[in-house]
Structure 1
Amino acid sequence: MADQSTPEARTPEARTPETAHGSPGGPGPLDSASTTARAGISRRRLLGTAGATGLVLGAAGGAAGYAAAPSSPTAATPLTSLGSEQVMFHGKHQPGITTPMQSRGHLIAFDLAAGAGRKEAAALLRRWSDTARRLMAGDPAGSRDTDVARDAGPASLTVTFGFGHSFFGRTGLAEQRPAALDPLPDFSSDHLDKNRSNGDLWVQIGADDALVAFHALRAVQQDAGSAARVRWQMNGFNRSPGATTHPMTARNLMGQVDGTRNPKPSDTDFDQRIFVPEQHGSSGENENKEHAWMANGSYAVVRRIRMLLDDWEKLPVKAQEEVIGRRKSDGAPLTGGTETTEMDLEKTDEAGNLIVPINAHARITRPDQNGGAAMVRRPFSYHDGFDADGVPDAGLLFICWQADPLRGFVPVQRKLDRGDALSQFIRHEASGLFAVPGGAAEGEYVGQRLLEG
């Protein structure tokens, strides 16, 4: 969708046990919740047995063949495929923000049950955090584990938690609600279903294995117990790691390369644009003590954007490229070069017409055309079947991260609302804004500084 999109070189295709650590061709530096390939996976091993358990997949996703059965239970062979990759639960930031994109995702929002308040919310976040920590390490969820992912490793599982605007009133914490969490303005392109928007609590789940992701989704829903009920839930996917012959930026369901100009953790101003700063001193724009609980956190804007694929696919490729402002084949700007070549917004053709149309999506979303507005977009595609006329219900589960949505998402979306060529081919059908606090330290649960502060 937007040119400022999923992390460049943080696509599933680009991640292998080597590139996950920032080696040449990899995603670059990660935060303290970075992905690590472990030599041994606690309580879960992939045991290749000749003619019995099936193929062991290599790091690039290819079949490595059958392994001989171990001579004894103690000789179990650790996972060597993408299933072995682990993301740490504890850290400065929550996982699932700068973590490389995963191939499977679930989004789920909850409302606190009638009568549930701060005490119940704290107990729920404590349960959720413990379950997330266990599952992200490749361990069972607890005594009620469903065994869905019994044979798998962590598979880069991440579980991320956030609070909606309504959460603070329900828990008696209205004074702790940050101004950045004020409801998003209305946009002319909105066709929002209120039943699939917002929520008291939000959970993002990502993994490189579908069963691992579902296992986490089910565990989170079970842990909610009587404290909260599901408000809405959405499922998404991306290209699997190793699905292409070489690392490359992912494509969305319109077939467009989607992820070229995302901010990167290596950028000098990345943290200030994406994460809420820690409190220092006694004065300053971000020095409100009541908001100290958001230090090192971020704000997630979540939008279910339906792509009108039947209309889009009727366009010839040249027209599609003019809508976006980039070549469909390789994502390069229409003004020439490669995917990462700077777009020449002033370049014209022989007739004097702009090569990149004035309403091209890539032109409108550029940070330098929006006062420097920046956000890390980390979406999942979705497909929820077909309607009675055979029209696909498919598109993008748009998720973007920023230190302040009023300086990130809102100005860009307002500009898109005024004349984006892509707008006639998409429809915003659900929306949410969530405050995602910083990561939990060892012995803490997510949100503890808010709920017990």
Structure 2
Amino acid sequence: MSDFNTMIVPLPDPIYGTPYQNGITDPLWPVDFDGKMNIRRIAELLGRLAVSERLADGSPPPPEEVKLRAQYASDYAGRTARQSNLTLIRANVLSSDRAELIAVLKMLTEFAVEEMQLKPSQSRVAVLEQVPTSYRVTVTLAFGASLFVDAQGEDRFGLRTLRPRYLKQMPSFPGDAPDFDPAASGSDLLISVCSDHPYVNIATTRFFVEFFNQRFRKAHPHVGPDRNLMHFMSIEQGFARKDKREFLRFDDGIDNVQMGRDDLFRFVYVEETDNEPDWCVNGSYLVYRKIREHMPKWEVLDEKTQEAHIGRHKTSGAPLSREVAGADGMTPVYPDPADERDGPLTAHVRKVQPRRSEADLFGMSDLERRFVRRPYPFFDGLDPDTGTTCNGLQFVAFMKSIQQQFEHVANMWQMNPDFPVPGTGIDALYASGVLSTVDGGYYFCPAGLRCEGDYFGATLFEALPLL
């Protein structure tokens, strides 16, 4: 029997050809692990599962299989798997002509599809170098509030009445850096590029930033030889660690909340009953926050104080909570959000994941505030103002309601000094200055492509009268 602990677990591929844009809840692990998969696939997935007649004759499965299924259910089923590299490109449309905007979106879509379907090159490969079958490329396009109504209040494209219900300029929050101005950080478009190879991200990003306008002019000669349709404002980059930790070196679930497939769709994508414009169905809101981690302030704290700030044990990642006897001995339970015996009430995990047993004032349970997080650590080199390194987390999250999910967590829990009890204080990581938000914005990702020749945002313009 092969050693289960030495098997390499492959990552799931993006799911192309769905009503939802790629890069939001895919790559997605299969929810069910029922023993009916091809044995080679199973061996690649979590070890080696011997599929034989014993599964059908009523005899109990071997211990290895029981362990395998439990591990799969705990660590993989229903979770999304980030790629290794993230690039965020912000851009503004330099036009007030709806037909030109549609042409821009069509070309962005064409290139996105081209990049996502491109297979890794097998040429110029060093001897014995393994090339994967896919770099798991996703290109996700999102609309900013300024595309519907710009900073001057102008409705450039006649889209004001169809703006998504919760799409607006990101407000300021406690813990924002003094020089962070959300009004200056927003953009018409946000392009998220993810893949498992850094040069794939670089090459894709270079096309958008350096060659898009050139290619657009060539395809649309009437715009003139010197006119640009897109102004690219900024490029942000991040990377993923194999151990799912970031610079603070705690396992605090920076990847994704544990959800089954149904929950992923329940909490992420707009449905027909969500009181949004019809064109928003199957779309998702995107919240972006660039969070600086001030390491000198963090690293002077001893381990016990760090654990108190996070609300978890540093080594195991288990919550700082009382232990209760369970079937396996002493099993840590999730902390009571208002009981100081489970650790400081200002601990990060206590402030953003309270999980109370009763419904809140709005009749919703705390678990209904969840959303999909797809953050990546970043390292921007030297901060010239302080002489320290500049690093932190590119926090990217997807949800069906900014107000009921992200803003409720931020305003009612994390940054509310009177939650869970009066006088508690805000999240300890922000209160101590370890974290500060230095950039960000709100966006809406339209639905995926319905057929060949479709483009991102097509349903928006189909809802408008003809020009």
Deviation per CA, 1:32-80: give whole Å up to 9, x if none: xxx1xxxxxxxxxxxxxxxxxxxxxxxxxxxxxxxxxxxxxxxxxxxxx
| Identity fraction in percent | 29
* Aligned partners of 1:197 and 1:232 also within 8 Å: no
Aligned to 1:75: none
Instruction: Give yes or no for contact 2:91–2:231 (8 Å, CA) kept in 1.
Output: yes
Q: Is the 8 A contact 1:275 1:403 kept in 2?
A: yes
* Equivalent residue number for residue 200 of structure 2: 212
Letter in 1 for 2:99: K
SS for the counterpart of 1:136 is helix
Q: Which residue of 1 aligns with 2:267?
A: 273
1:435 counterpart = 2:444: yes
The secondary structure found in structure 2 opposite 1:235 is strand
AA matched with 1:393: C
User: What SS does structure 1 have at the residue aligned with 2:396?
Assistant: strand
Partner of 1:119: 99
| Contact 1:346–1:354 (8 Å) recurs in 2 | no
Match for residue 114 of structure 2 among 103, 109, 134: 134
Give the partner amino acid of 1:233. Answer: I
Q: Is the 8 A contact 2:337 2:350 kept in 1?
A: no
Verify the 8 A CA contact 1:361 1:422 in the aligned structure 2: yes
- Structure 1 vs Structure 2 CA RMSD: 2.8
Structure showing greater radius of gyration is 2
What amino acid maps onto 2:428 in structure 1?
A: A
Q: 1:451: which partner in 2?
A: 461
Query: For residues 120 and 342 of structure 1, do their structure 2 counterparts lie closer, same or farther at Cα, with a shift above 3 Å needed?
Result: farther
Letter in 2 for 1:416: Q
Sort the Cα spacing of 1:376 and 1:268 in 2 relative to 1 into closer, same or farther, 3 A. same
Deviation at 1:432, TM superposition (A): 0.5
| 1:228 partner letter | M
Name which structure has the greater RCO, CA cutoff 8 Å, separation 6+.
Answer: 1
Contact 2:337-2:355 at 8 Å conserved across structures: no
Alpha-carbon distance in 1 for matches of 2:253, 2:307: 15
Per the normalisation by structure 2, the TM-score is 0.68
**In the alignment, what sits opposite 1:223?**
212
The match for 1:233 is 235
CA change 1:181–1:316 in 2 (3 A) is: same
Residue in 2 aligned with 1:93?
20
Aligned pairs for 1:11-410 (under 5 A) are 16-17=9-10, 20=12, 35=13, 87-99=14-26, 100-113=81-94, 115-138=95-118, 154-169=134-149, 170-191=156-177, 192-194=180-182, 197-221=185-209, 222-225=211-214, 226-240=228-242, 250-259=244-253, 262-266=256-260, 268-277=262-271, 279=272, 286-287=274-275, 291-335=277-321, 342-345=333-336, 354-366=341-353, 368-369=355-356, 371-372=365-366, 373-388=369-384, 389-410=386-407
Q: Distance in 2 between matches of 1:347 and 1:193?
A: 34
- SS of match in other structure, 1:163: strand
Cα separation, 1, equivalents of 2:105 and 2:320:
48
| Structure 2: segments with no counterpart, 5+ residues | 1-6, 27-80, 122-130, 150-155, 215-227, 417-425
Query: In structure 1, how many angstroms separate the alpha carbons of the residues matched to 2:183 and 2:134?
Result: 32
- Consecutive unaligned residues in structure 1, runs of 5 or more: 1-13, 21-34, 36-86, 142-150, 241-247
Name the CA distance, whole Å, in 2 between partners of 1:96 and 1:260: 17
State the shift of 1:136 in Å: 1.1
Distance 1:360 1:434, change over 3 A: same
> How far apart are 1:152 and its partner, in Å?
7.8
Distance of aligned partners of 1:406 and 1:186 in 2 relative to their CA distance in 1, 3 Å threshold: same
C-alpha distance after superposition, 1:210-258 (max 9, x if no partner): 0111111112222255211112221111125xxxxxxx5x001111113
Q: Which one-letter code corresponds to 2:415 in the other structure?
A: D
What CA deviation, in whole Å up to 9, does each residue of 1:93-132 have, x standing for no partner?
Answer: 111112221111100110111x343212211111111111
Out of 428, 434, 444, the residue aligned to residue 421 of structure 1 is 428
Match of 2:409 among 405, 409, 412: 412
Q: CA deviation at 1:162?
A: 0.4
**Residues 206-215 or 365-374, more deviating:** 365-374
Query: What is the CA–CA distance in structure 2 between the aligned matches of 1:265 and 1:125, rounded to whole Å?
Result: 32
C-alpha contact (below 8 Å) 1:317/1:328 kept by paired residues: yes
| Whole-angstrom CA distance in 2 between matches of 1:260 and 1:105 | 15
Structure 2 counterpart of 1:216, one-letter code? T
Counterpart Cα distance in 1 of 2:235 and 2:441: 12
Superposed displacement of residue 184, structure 1: 3.2
Distance verdict in 2 for CA 1:140–1:355, change over 3 Å? closer
Question: C-alpha distance in 1, partners of 2:148/2:21?
Answer: 20
Mean CA deviation greater in 324-333 or 152-161: 152-161
Greater share of helix:
2
CA distance in 2, matches of 1:332, 1:356: 12
Q: With structure 1 as the length reference, what TM-score do the two structures score? A: 0.70
1:260 CA drift (Å): 6.9
Closer/same/farther in 2, CA of residues 129 and 360 from structure 1, 3 Å limit: same
